[in-house]
Amino acid sequence: MTATQSGAPICWCLTEGHAGMESQVLGLAEALGTAPIAKRVRLRFPWTHVPPRLALPPLTAQAEGSTLLIPPWPDLLITCGRRSVSLSMRIRRLSEGRTFTVHIQDPHVPADCFDMIVVPEHDRLRGPNVMVTRAAIHRVTTEKLNMGAERLAPDLAHLPRPLAAVLVGGSNRRYRLTPRRVKTICRSLAQAVGESGAGLAVTPSRRTGAENEAALRAGLAGLPAYIWGGAGENPYLGLLGLADMIVVTADSVSMVSEALATGKPVHVIECEGLSRRFGTFHAGLRAAGLTRPFRGHLETWAYEPPDDTRKVAEELAHRLAARRMSGKG
């Protein structure tokens, strides 16, 4: 296996470009000490509907706007998301096995199609090359939180303490966020402010949507609240760094996992919808004393933050070293 002059492997991080997926692949690559090269790809029809177990698409099957995937192949390829599975399998084959492939989340193909797979506890896949985590891998580090907090502090200096960061997601295949639900959430946040005197620092996500954002602003009008408007750099890390506690919607495993990396109390807002996998994830966090449901009250408690990203990076480094020693890479 070749590597950069620093000794770190040349690493591609391949996703469809969704924020939660990119956070996981880049977070693992950075924890490993590489300088990852982000690749965003989409497949063209009919390959979007062909399961990888039936046929692998040629690399020319990428849709317009995708990043080119051409040799030289990387030493390490980290992927996340259903559409990246077949591309990773194709690159592994084209590199004649020299590219070490890691997939995050259940790829729904035999585990031996990858050199390593990383799944959360709420996924059922297990095997000798499968590593199980409690929370999602992410890019949040203490250094990034401190830097973000320092940059954002002047903008939030007018807000009272304690400060609650409110992370708002949106609708996906499992959950729905509607203006009606947003109004209910705002009433609960208003109740919490009335009880605790807290300030609110709120950031919507890409999935929140204009109608929900409008409902959010209307519902929090008159409260001591900062709501990011979408212009300029996302203050997400600064909010996490400055907050005394965090309130986050349940629709995103990544946002909840990133909030837990702070070690601060994380309150989870229930969303409309049903997901067995997400339900298992949230139930496990509550049982472990890591999160609590948000019921219009801001509470404080202590816990040891999950350190899954570091643990997976250490195991990956061990496996890469073993491959180099064996002469296979």
> Would residue 3 count as lying in a domain?
no
Q: What is the tens place of the pLDDT at every residue in 277-325? A: 889 999 999 999 999 999 999 999 999 999 999 999 999 999 999 988 8
174 and 203 fall within a common domain: yes
The count of structural domains within the chain is 2
> Would residue 49 count as lying in a domain?
yes
Q: Does residue 162 have a cis peptide bond before it, meaning omega lies within 30 degrees of 0?
A: yes
167 and 268 fall within a common domain: yes
pLDDT at 5 over 50: no
CATH of the domain at 283: 3.40.50.2000
What whole-number percentage of the chain has pLDDT above 70?
97
116 and 240 fall within a common domain: no
Residue 243 CB coordination number (10 Å): 27
Q: What is the pTM of this model?
A: 0.89
69 and 156 fall within a common domain: no
d(CA 67, CA 82): 17
Task: Give the pLDDT confidence score for residue 277 in this predicted structure.
Answer: 83
Longest dimension (CA), the chain: 65
CB 208 within 8 A of CB 168: yes
Rounded to an integer, the average pLDDT of 93-97 is 95
53 and 94 fall within a common domain: yes
Structure confidence at residue 4 as a pLDDT band (50, 70, 90): very low
- CA distances (Å), 250 to each of 23, 200, 275, 279, 319, in order? 17, 18, 11, 9, 34
Mean pLDDT score across all residues of the chain = 92
CB 201 within 8 A of CB 226: yes
97 and 215 fall within a common domain: no
CB 86 within 8 A of CB 95: no
Helix or strand (DSSP H, E) at 29? helix 19-32
d(CA 52, CA 73): 20
85 and 174 fall within a common domain: no
170 and 259 fall within a common domain: yes
Rounded to an integer, the average pLDDT of 255-266 is 97
> Would residue 16 count as lying in a domain?
yes
Domain that holds residue 195: 142-293
> Would residue 279 count as lying in a domain?
yes
- What is the total residue count of the chain? 329
d(CA 53, CA 108): 9
322 and 279 fall within a common domain: no
Could you give the angle at the alpha carbon of 69 between the alpha carbons of 68 and 73, nearest 5°?
145
147 and 78 fall within a common domain: no
d(CA 243, CA 312): 27
> Would residue 5 count as lying in a domain?
no
d(CA 221, CA 202): 12
Task: Give the pLDDT confidence score for residue 162 in this predicted structure.
Answer: 98
